[in-house]
Amino acid sequence: MPALHTDPGIPIARESLPSLSSLPGTAAAVTIDAQGCIREATIPAAAMLGYEPPQLLGRSLREIAAEGWQAAADVAAARVRYGSLESFELALRGRSGRRTLVEMTASRIGGDPVQALVAWAERRGRRVAGEAEPSDDGRFAYALLRAHESERRRLASLLHDEFVPILVMVRFQLEQALARQAEASIIDPAGEPDATVAESVRHLRDLTARLLGASSALHPRILEDLGLQASIEALCREVAQANPGLDVGARFELREEDIPASLRLEVYRILEEGLANVVAHAGARSACASVYRSGEEICALVEDDGRGFEAQASPALLEGSGVGLQAIRWRVEATGGRLLFAPADPHGARIGAAWKA
């Protein structure tokens, strides 16, 4: 049972105690109230930041967040407050000023709508044997990408599941009104259907399609519904349709279950960024997004026949590149992968990643 410290001046809901006390003695966890303030803390949670448990009491996530992470802390506190149980990452500032990247998981305390139990654990990027550990900057940049990914997923769900159904319902009602007007005009030719209503229906139909497209761009829902292969094939079709002069192919040469679930979104995003780079910079006529096995590695690669780069180019060049290519590097480093970055033969470029299977 972990040692539990509470501030005697702050009333604590008694039903919260069994939840914390049932955790292993090494568990790092706190309870957070509706304002996002810490009400209780285990010794491991406080020690991770160099504090004694009483020193954390009354502090908000914003107060202990690392510099530049205050907004993310506010979002995290709001998500906990409104009942979201998805895990999230947050960089915390220790007593010495050291930054610690933690993965947090929230749960309700016995159905209590006011307090939540938040367990956290330090998150470190996995490494391939013999490779250097990712830099702090790389790990924290990847954590920001993860936070953005979580917010994109939330917004995509909001568009797809809440806004679009409302528009569809309104459009259906207007279409019914037009149908009734059309029936009435048969009896009374002077009662022609309202052109304004018909125009509104067309606008609603277009807006619905645009919102569904925006939802898909924010988060590939097809990834959960149909899997990685279907998602990559759909991505290649979309890129080809948006760029008529570019022939885009997809190659998927392994079983989907051979790819760890934790890597599937990363594979999708890396290929997405790679294709975006082809469109923006390569001047290519054709490109191919591939997922395949090479020896003991799972590879995700975008190859094009564009202008390419110098043969002596190295991944270090990505340091000065745009956000898209740097995002690939951050994702690869943080997931323990190996960056693939080389000229294609006879011309063009190849960029992607490989992970130990």
Per-residue pLDDT band for 240 (boundaries 50, 70, 90) equals: very high
Tell me which of 144 and 167 has the higher pLDDT: 167
Average pLDDT over residues 48-58: 89
The yes-or-no verdict on residue 114 having pLDDT over 80 is no
Closest CA to 143 of 337, 355, 335: 335
Tell me the CB-side half-sphere exposure of residue 291, using CA atoms within 13 A: 26
- Write down the pLDDT at residue 288: 94
- Write down the pLDDT at residue 2: 36
Per-residue pLDDT band for 10 (boundaries 50, 70, 90) equals: very low
Average pLDDT over residues 166-174: 82
Q: Extract the tokens encoding 36.
A: 């996002």
| Crossing angle between the packed helical segments 195-218 and 136-158, to the nearest 10 degrees | 150
Tell me which of 58 and 315 has the higher pLDDT: 58
Mean confidence (pLDDT) of the chain: 75
Single pTM value for the model: 0.52
Q: What is the pLDDT of residues 23-48, one digit of tens each?
A: 555 678 888 887 778 888 888 888 88
As a whole-number percent, the residues of the chain with pLDDT over 90 amount to 13
- What is the C-alpha separation between 247 and 244, in angstroms, rounded? 8
Per-residue pLDDT band for 125 (boundaries 50, 70, 90) equals: very low
Residues 6+ apart with CB under 8 A from 298: 254, 258, 259, 263, 291, 292, 354, 355, 356, 357
Question: Quick check: 119 and 105 in contact, CB under 8 A?
Answer: yes
- What is the C-alpha separation between 123 and 89, in angstroms, rounded? 8
- Write down the pLDDT at residue 291: 94
Residues 6+ apart with CB under 8 A from 259: 228, 267, 291, 298
Going by DSSP bridges, is the β-strand pair 112-122/99-109 parallel, antiparallel, or unpaired? Answer: antiparallel
- Write down the pLDDT at residue 189: 56
- Write down the pLDDT at residue 144: 64
Average pLDDT over residues 54-75: 85
- Write down the pLDDT at residue 249: 93
Least confident of 2-16, 54-68, 94-108: 2-16
- What is the C-alpha separation between 318 and 341, in angstroms, rounded? 9
The yes-or-no verdict on residue 132 having pLDDT over 90 is no
